[in-house]
Amino acid sequence: MKRIIFHIDQNCYFASVEMISKPELRNVPMAVAGDASARHGIILAKNEPAKRYGIKTAEAIWQAKAKCPDLVLVDSHHEKYEFYSRKLREMYSEYTDKVEPFGLDECWLDMTGIVSGYDEAEEVALEIRNRVKDEFKLTCSVGISFNKVFAKLGSDYKKPDATTVFSDTDWQEKIWPLPVSDLLFVGKHTEDKLLKINVKTIGDLARTDSAYISTYLGKAGAVLWEYANGLDNAPVAESGYKRIPKSVGNSTTTAEDMTSDRQIERTLHMLSESVAMRLRKHGLKGTVVQITVRDRDLAIYEKQSILYRATDDAKDIYEAARDLFKNSYDWNKGVRSIGVRCTKLVRSDSGEQLSLFSEAGKSERDERLNKAIDDINRRYGTSVIKSAAEAESASRENKADKIVSDPFHPEDDFK
């Protein structure tokens, strides 16, 4: 049976959600921005009027303001974006049980066997777009094709509020002339490498020798060559399916550059607690700890170490991260941001081999303690119980000025 895959992409999602409760901003240049006081001063999303000024996602606020001095900036509210994302997925699930999220604002739907062909698929896509407008006051673009990659390409092809079909009979004439950067997972670095061998379009990539492109780009080259030739057969996951993450991490940019080991240790404590809690939530343990450090000149380096045993314990993660930093950073420059990540994850119930009986006892005690802490935090709020170092750090942060957002009442947006 011929596959028919939808990719639904909400238009200007963060900005559009903000405009639900602030309709007066629909016709003026507006952008959702990070907190400049916390040095996250970048554009996170923008509406259509702001796009016309050339404002781009991830550029600095000052750059955006230089293009459009009258740009209205709005704080981000991730609880809103998650709420609407969940509601939209519930609506999509009325059409198929195979709904796979791709970020908060995008989803693939497998409509194979549900629609008889591309004509009916377009009719259903129009119905979904109209429902998104009527029920959520948002707009979306829908791509329809015979695989996930081309469906995603279709939703990007025409915006806002549009449907694009790349069928199994006309996809080459429509897709091959497009810039190679339009293809899923072709980022700036890969695009630059492809341009060096005169691969400018998706068709150029498709017609390049597969063995050569695999040698030139490695494993990613083989995958991209298959994408360009319409050979993506990846299934759409069923609703509720959650991929096992390849890594779990957290990072922070501090209000001022960190200039001492003590400041770093406090921050690493906080990050390690967060990473450990998320590992336990997913039922996973990490076998490698990695730190990412960015100095005041924005230079970045990463270091990692293999753990003696897989862990989801904050103390183990913190000690590994602390040692990585101490053994690699010489304090020539202050630290602007730092991140902690666990990789090479294994399931918590996969078992582990310990060399000493005392370690087994310690591991069991730590797991019971962590479970008790997680249960309390789950019942009474995240981080009701904190480590001493994290609590001290939080106390210091609370003395700084903070922006307080209005509480989110989702029912208000549906009035």
Q: Are strands 163-166 and 140-145 parallel, antiparallel or unpaired?
A: parallel
Q: Return all residues near 230 (Cβ < 8 A) that are at least 6 apart.
A: 146, 147, 150, 168, 171, 172
Residue 123 is a catalytic residue: no
Cα→Cα distances 293→5, 273, 339, Å: 40, 18, 7
The secondary structure element, H or E, covering residue 143 is strand 140-145
Cα→Cα distances 334→257, 293, 296, 337, Å: 5, 10, 6, 9
- Residue 296 has which token pair? 């005041």
Active-site residue among 18, 48, 94, 106?
Answer: 106
Contact 239, 220 (CB under 8 A): no
* Most distant pair of Cα atoms in the chain: their distance: 68
Signed CA dihedral, 364, 366, 370, 373: sign only: positive
Contact 199, 208 (CB under 8 A): yes
Residues annotated as part of the active site: 106
